[in-house]
Each structure stands twice: as C-alpha cells, then as structure tokens.
Amino acid sequence: MIRILHIITRLDVGGSSENTILSVTRMPSEEFACGLVSGRTTEPPPGITRSLAERNIQWAVVPALRREIHPLRDLCALSALRRLIREERPDIVHTHTSKAGFLGRLAARLEHVPHIIHTPHGHVFGGYFSPAASCLFIGLERLAAHWTDRIVTLTDAEAAQHLALGIGRPEQFILG
C-alpha cells in the first residue's frame, strides 16, 4: 500500500480545494492510503467531512498553517508538519498551493520522504506583491523545486512560466 499525505494551506471553497479533495478521495483505496493536512478552513466545500469519512481519510488541521507570512507561526507550522510526517510515514507528500507547498516540501525533505510532488494551482509571482516580495517568493520556489520530484501544472503555459523564472527543470513538470 502506498501512503500519500496531501498538504494544502486551506480547504475553503475553490478550485485548489476541490482538486485536492478529488485527489484524496478518488485514489483506489486498495492501492493507496491517503491523508490530508490543512490549515484552518472557514468555508469548507459542501460535503467535505462526509466525503472524507466515507473513504476513511484522516483530516488533520494545523492552525499555524496560514496564508499570510508570519515567521514565528510559519516555524510552528513547519514543526507540526514534520511531526505529522514522522507519525504518518508517507511514501509520497503531495503539496498544494504556495504556503503549504513550500513548508510541506521543506518538512518532507527534512523527514526524508522518498517522493515529493507539488501542485501550485497557479502562482503569485507577479501583480500580487511588491517586486521585492515577488523576488523572495520566486527564490523560495527555485529552492523548493530542488526537493521536488514532480510539479503538476494545469497547462503547458503554467509550466513555461515557471521555467522562464528559473523554477524547476522541464522533466519535472507534468500536466494534471
């Protein structure tokens, strides 16, 4: 049985949450055991609790895992993710979205998880933050790409945008 731990910043209504829930609940249970970790969720998609319970999928909440940058809280989230990874001993950690993507991949790397996958669900490299903050996020993504076996993008254009920014290598990208 292959154990997969999915990590997402939050499971509020939206495309990234729905995609993650589908990934967790639609894997063949004879072959895969999936777990789910998120930060606090204020507006979960309808039926998520029932859907996870029907598939016997554990959903752990890490309150410190939040969207905004807060170094102390982010260190607490990293520590909690490392603890959960040690407890679950997954074969694969699959991260979703930016914050969970960086902290989850770092935790997986530090805990020697054999395979690390990341789905950005878009990116925040331009237009959302100051140029300095955007440079920092690009640098962090470049670093995290070194620890990542596969980066799942929705389109070829998204993969090309990452590559143009020096994030990852062409062979890492797959369409999802």
The burial of 89, by beta-carbon neighbours within 10 Å (0-12 exposed, 13-18 middle, 19 or more buried), is given as exposed
Alpha-carbon torsion 172, 7, 176, 57, what sign?
positive
Cβ–Cβ under 8 Å, residues 113 and 85: yes
Nearest to 165 by CA among 144, 145, 142, 147: 142
Nearest to 38 by CA among 83, 100, 111, 106: 100
Residue 87's SS3 state is helix
Note the pLDDT of residue 127: 63
So what's the pLDDT on residue 94? 98
pLDDT in tens, 91-136: 999 999 889 999 999 999 999 999 999 999 876 666 667 888 888 8
Q: What is the pLDDT of residues 23-63, one digit of tens each?
A: 999 999 899 999 999 999 888 888 888 889 899 999 999 99
Task: Give Cβ neighbours of residue 100 (< 8 Å, ≥ 6 apart).
Answer: 7, 8, 9, 37, 38, 39, 65
Could you tell me how many residues make up the chain?
176
Phi/psi for 64 (5° steps) reads: -75, -15
Given a cut of 90, is residue 17 above it in pLDDT? no
pLDDT value at position 124? 64
What is the Cα–Cα distance from 61 to 40, expressed in whole angstroms? 6
* pLDDT band at 67; cut points 50, 70, 90: confident
Q: What is the reported pTM?
A: 0.93
Residue among 63, 151, 140 at smallest CA distance from 102: 140
Confidence label for 13 from pLDDT (cuts 50, 70 and 90): confident
Angle, CA 152 vertex, CA 149 and CA 155 arms, to 5° = 145
